[in-house]
Amino acid sequence: MAGQANSRDVVQRDDGTWAVTKPNAARVSATAETQAHAIQRATEILTRDGGGELRIHGTNGQVRDQRTIAPGNDPHPPTG
């Protein structure tokens, strides 16, 4: 699962704050008061680590958005 190796999820915690998590990690990568701040922090982490996939979960826990953070492995990169 090379695509899963460098990925992060932004999920809401029970206390209403937001966490940046890495699949199968014992601890969260970062926490934030708002989803927007958690997305920003997750993007920074992935950019620093060479890119990857960012999955953003809504308050219901379902993935509502997925982004490839450069230089991630986007199978359909934009042209031009």
**Phi and psi dihedrals of 47, rounded to 5?**
-60, -45
CB atoms within 10 A of CB 8: 28
Closest C-alpha among 57, 24, 18 to residue 67: 57
Q: pTM score, two decimals?
A: 0.81
Residue 80: predicted pLDDT = 57
Written as tens digits, the pLDDT of the chain (80 aa) is: 344 469 999 999 999 999 999 999 999 999 999 999 999 999 999 999 999 999 999 999 999 999 999 875 555 666 65
